[in-house]
Amino acid sequence: MTFVLGRRWLTVVLTVVMVLALTAAPAQPGWPPRDWVMVTCDVGQGDGLVVRVGARQAVVIDTGPEPRAMERCLDQLGVAVVPLLVLTHFHADHVDGLRGVWAGRTIAQIWVSPLAAPAHEATAVAGLAAQHRTAVSTPSPGQQAQVGDLHLQVIGPIRPRTPETSESSVENDASLVLIATVGGIRLLLTGDVEPPGQQAILASGVDLRAQVLKVPHHGSARQDPAFFAATGARIAIASAGADNDYGHPAPRTVQLARSLGMTVLHTDVHGGVAVTRRGDQLGVVTQRRTP
């Protein structure tokens, strides 16, 4: 010990190494799988999804409720560049982890919901984007984009006329809803869209077929069965926090998905969930082993 302390520079180097070792994202055997296409991060009671678009590059959809969990997930996935960040709507459980995406990474552009509410969160997002000189825009239904290996189609929101609904429900139904196609896999990414918004999208006639459904609103009990059925999805993933106060995912929603032949996975039980593609085979790897 006297030898180390007698050499100040060596003490500093060892201290830095120890700090890096303690703060680095912990390695977990088998996680993440090498052939991941999309990962639903375990961010607690919120949404944080990552879709691979190239080497060390990914599109991120929502950022969860706090930065550290999102930062840890992206670090584990080896993501260094985010060509596009999509914030489906401005609820805190979808945007408050934004700083975690920027930690050690660049974001080229941001898509946001057309409804800038709640105002506090919308203002905070705008401020951070301005600080990082990142362009922010609102895509319209029908808009398409190619980002690396990923093709995106915006299919919502299509605002239903339901003035009797709560303010929170209106904000949920203002979620950006996307069809994402990557590696031959179609993903339906739904934000927190509720039954009126789901029904409006269904009535628009858009093709909702997808192999993977991101279950709307963390698996809330409020879902439209016809919307689920139209997807024909094989895998349904709900992002929810362990022992959350909302009862997400609701048993009736889990049962609805299963009744349609979907395999249901949710982060409160399984941790992060990775959709994989091996040749022509679609697969799923979970962060936690469960019975």
**pLDDT for 37-77, tens place per residue?**
999 999 999 999 999 999 999 999 999 999 999 999 999 99
pLDDT grade for 288, boundaries at 50, 70 and 90: confident
Cα–Cα distance between 118 and 120 in angstroms, integer? 6
Q: What is the mean pLDDT of the chain?
A: 89
pLDDT for 128 equals 97
Contact 87, 94 (CB under 8 A): yes
- Identify the band that residue 234 occupies on the pLDDT scale cut at 50, 70 and 90: very high
Tokens 């930062």 identify what position? 71
Q: What is the pLDDT of residue 204?
A: 96
pLDDT value at 10 more than 50? no
Bridge-based pairing of strands 109-112 and 85-87 is parallel
Token duo for residue 222: 């409020």
Q: Is the dihedral of CA 76, 82, 88, 93 positive or negative?
A: positive
More confident residue, 195 or 162: 195
pLDDT-based confidence at residue 278 (cuts at 50, 70, 90) = confident
CATH architecture of 33-286: 4-Layer Sandwich (3.60)
Check residue 29 and give its pLDDT: 65
Query: Can you list the alpha helix ranges (DSSP code H) found in 136-189?
Result: 167-173
Mean pLDDT of 12-38: 61
Mean pLDDT is lowest, of 58-67, 80-89, 155-164, 226-235, for 155-164
**What per-residue confidence (pLDDT) applies to 5?**
33
SS3 helix, strand, coil % of the chain, rounded to 5? 30, 25, 40
- What are the start-end ranges of the H helices in 2-118? 2-5, 8-23, 67-77, 92-95, 98-102
Q: Encode burial over 256-285: b for 16+ CB neighbours within 10 A, e otherwise.
A: bbeebebebbbbbbbbbbbbbbeeeebebb
Q: What are the tokens at 27?
A: 């390695």
pLDDT of residue 37: 97
User: Residues 156-167: what's their mean pLDDT?
Assistant: 68
- CA separation (Å) from 177 to 68, 101, 180, 199, 284? 25, 21, 10, 13, 22
Average pLDDT in the 9-14 region? 39
The answer to whether 248 touches 45, Cβ cutoff 8 Å, is yes
Answer with the residue of higher pLDDT: 191 or 27: 191
